Chain A
């Protein structure tokens, strides 16, 4: 079509200014695409690997969300029968003498645990950072592929393996692990304490060790690629914020995930070899264990040394995506680019010295908490800067509303709502009352769960054309956005009230306590919106797969009028990304509306007399 007849102006620029790495002289580019298996399954192409992460993430997202619907049914409608779930859940549904079926308590806790683990690690870490780091880092840096496509392929397959092991654990006769996604010992170590702490915990820990391998292989690659494979002219200060976010995320992951493995190794030693790293003075099942000298609190230190950075591993990529999406669609540069980069750096650094804010009430010396309170509340400052900068990015724009930009705006709202409750929790004095209540549940679901999902959706709607050469359906996308925004707030906002009323989290039933049993209506309300929200996500899934094959075709390369390099590749981007030379970069990524020109791509040289801004 037009592409072939007249040469695209981007191609002209690339040919004129690009860098010739003789890529296609070697033909190694196409070697990987020779057959179905090497192209779609054991692919080493970063774009295909990214899609593999995404689709596997969607698979796990559906499973994790379905689990939450099941346990929400138990919480919202404890008196109604869920015997109809028996064909799926078998013995995990107990039917009482009146014929009312309810969820078995052990299985309730197993579902909560699996839900947390799956969403935190498989969906919001692998599905989010795995997907977009893979797809965007080489494309936006101007590289042919990742530094090591082979390790990159292994990264996906270790993730797959982790998923397979976790999936298998769902079918154990003793049930999957049920001690919470934080897996605090001694509960997680002693099979006598909980049926899920038997084989379920063994598989859980094994799965997560594989998962960490995946994260590390991916992370090493992301870092190396960003540092070494940027194209000519792409200085660090010209990187789009997406890449900054993925880059810093990978560094955090590389520094913190190994500590999680060490915690798991010690846990496994305690379980299998009779050591006592985390055990002391325990009498259980009629027996005083000969295990002394360990400390359960040590595990919590190790866990949260990963756990807190982990929440930023989840949110930073979403922040990067949203920065890019909001800027592109409001047709304005991101406001305060440098401040955005510095705040990512500040958040990343601080995220390593705040972990004990999860442990204020765990028995650590209260004096130590003073430091953690101070560092924790300092994080609010760079976070606030980011929020103000996003809002100012919209100011004076010419905003194109579509599913991507809407999810970007929704992200900012969620991040504000959930970040502000962090200020309560980070203040240890208030945390005495709020710790382990529904207030915490509300906080982290809004600021991490929903916000990260919104960032992910923004990214999917925005880069879908780049991934599949087609658009997702916009009408369904907008319905998905508004419906999810409303139901997410309807689910999680009221949980603050339950938390302030003192209702503890992880309660199978609220009826035992007079103080916690006044929220029946609220719990029903929440469950109904949880079901609605689940249905809306299925709508998204339908839209996603329908659009892969039937969506509206992309007819121009750069449908959003964006500046970054990925939109200078052909519509059907082959292996190696650019058919000829690699583009070189002439300016930063955010020249939107500069000198009255709507957008100026990064490969366009400075006009005469033009100065580069930052």
Chain B
């Protein structure tokens, strides 16, 4: 019923608008087209100007309003070392593009207003001006060069693989519909061999158990399990997929890389803040004791007003950023950055998947207690 009323109202409004259109056209016939056109020019010239002012102001005001929700601004410093460089390049680009944005928009709408058609005005004849055109070819070219050089410098550094013998931890992320499976290398620090033909329900990654490097690898498939990483240590994530494309996306760390079946990719980054430090930023107080970012002081669960505040409950998140099917939006995992000591303690408690699930079963090629060998 309400639906019908809405439809009727919309139709009514439509009819009224169309009628207004017709009436104004009739008026035009009475008053003469030239005069109408001049009125039009005046009115639309003024609207152009008003639009320009309102538009430019809203761009600034809205950006200011949302500044604390955007990464790189307000409390959202990058949580990785390279991320701050990228944020800096973003801001430099923003600076230059904002200048161009404002100058061109002011010129565009100001000229539209200033040179609106009027009685007795004659357009000037200006077909080209080589000097002017040269200037506005060269200036963008110079600015672009500057941006490209800065950008590529950072890019090549960020995307470089870890050097030979450089200290780092290597972990592995495997995308599947619709979850991220993670693998930590265990005590030996090495990830064992995988083969997708070995995948089955007990071996979700297709680890080759004849490779003993696999035996201490910790596998985490439950989306609820928290992934810890030490602060200040280089992490190389080996990124793979076992079905379709996914994208390993850690927005707070400015990390993003496709997971491609059959073609392992990687991303190297160094967490620069623990989760706790990041939370302190979010929950910071001003000198007068008031919260700096009030929105982060709301309860994290609206049904529990006395529960933890949003800043207290904050967690880094791992997402998927490449369309992978109908559950694409739900591949969430939680990442916790901790001190080295805490990490070591946590890691010491992790048990190899082989030990917990495979050892002594039919799948185990080293199963000597009779029965079938997985390898024959």
Contact = CB atoms under 8 A, between A and B. Distances in A.
B179 to A, nearest CB: 12
Give the one of B129, B148, B247, B319 with max A CB within 10 A. Answer: B148
B99 to A, nearest CB: 10
Interface residues of A, number: 130
A387 B329 CA distance: 38
A400 interface: yes
A18 interface: no
A370 B153 CA distance: 10
B332 interface: yes
A557 B322 CA distance: 54
A401 interface: yes
Interface string B293-306: 00100001000000
Give the one of A335, A397, A485 with max B CB within 10 A. Answer: A397
B136 A388 contact: yes
Given A416-B101, A543-B21, A614-B127, A339 B133 contact: yes
Contact of A184 (B20, B22, B93, B245): B245
B321 A406 contact: no
B53 interface: no
Contact of B44 (A297, A391, A478): A478
A282 B262 contact: yes
Given A332-B125, A514-B315, A420 B18 contact: no
A337 B324 contact: no
Nearest to A388: B136
B309 interface: no
A493 interface: yes
B260 A363 contact: yes
B54 to A, nearest CB: 9
Given A424-B97, A590-B127, A613-B127, A399 B116 contact: yes
Contacts of A594: 125
A145 B29 CA distance: 36
Contacts of B129: 335-336
Given A380-B144, A485-B51, A506 B86 contact: no
Contact of A281 (B3, B262, B319): B262
B41 A482 contact: no
Contact of A381 (B128, B137, B327): B137
A373 B155 contact: yes
A394 B112 contact: yes
B247 A361 contact: yes
Interface stretch (A5-13, A431-439, A601-609): A431-439
Interface string A412-434: 11001100110110011110110
B69 to A, nearest CB: 5
Contacts of A337: 127-128
Interface string A584-601: 000000101111100000
Give the one of A106, A502, A506 with max B CB within 10 A. Answer: A502
Contacts, number: 371
Interface in A366-408: 366-367, 369-370, 373-374, 377-378, 380-381, 384-385, 387-389, 391-392, 394-402, 406
Nearest to A509: B329
A515 interface: yes
A292 interface: yes
A179 B160 CA distance: 31
A612 B85 CA distance: 54
Contacts of A508: 326, 328-329
A185 B324 CA distance: 10
B156 interface: yes
A361 B86 contact: no
Given A187-B323, A283-B242, A474-B40, A296 B261 contact: yes
A338 interface: yes
Interface in B7-60: 10, 14, 17-18, 20-22, 24-25, 28, 37, 40-41, 43-45, 47-48, 51, 55, 58-59
Give the one of B89, B151, B244, B313 with max A CB within 10 A. Answer: B244
A381 B141 contact: yes
Contact of B152 (A400, A421, A428, A476): A428
B206 interface: yes
A173 interface: no
A282 to B, nearest CB: 5
A383 B119 CA distance: 34
A436 B44 CA distance: 38
A282 B251 contact: no
A337 B325 CA distance: 48
A100 interface: no
Contact of B247 (A436, A510, A590): A436
Interface in A344-373: 361-363, 366-367, 369-370, 373
B39 to A, nearest CB: 10
Given A187-B245, A362-B260, A429-B152, A333 B25 contact: no
Nearest to A367: B156
Interface stretch (A209-217, A246-254, A302-310, A534-542): A534-542
Contacts of B100: 384, 416, 420
A605 B12 CA distance: 54
A294 B93 contact: no
A4 interface: no
Contact of B122 (A280, A398, A409): A398
Contacts of A546: 18
Contact of A180 (B40, B117, B323): B323
A474 B322 contact: no
A124 B326 CA distance: 27
A397 B89 contact: no
A345 to B, nearest CB: 14
A187 B127 CA distance: 52
13 contacts: A106-B326, A281-B261, A284-B243, A296-B260, A363-B263, A367-B156, A380-B140, A391-B104, A401-B45, A430-B89, A509-B330, A518-B295, A614-B128
Interface of A: 84, 105-106, 108-109, 178-180, 184-187, 190, 193-195, 279-284, 288, 292, 294-297, 330-333, 335-339, 361-363, 366-367, 369-370, 373-374, 377-378, 380-381, 384-385, 387-389, 391-392, 394-402, 406, 409, 412-413, 416-417, 420-421, 423-424, 427-430, 432-433, 435-437, 473-476, 478-479, 482, 485-486, 489, 493-494, 497, 500-502, 504, 506-510, 512-516, 518-519, 522, 535, 538-539, 542-543, 546, 552, 590, 592-596, 613-614
Given A297-B260, A416-B100, A595-B125, 5 more contacts: A281-B196, A361-B247, A429-B158, A433-B256, A593-B125
Those 8 A-B pairs whose CB atoms lie nearest each other, nearest first: A280-B262, A502-B251, A366-B159, A427-B151, A396-B124, A281-B262, A401-B44, A507-B329
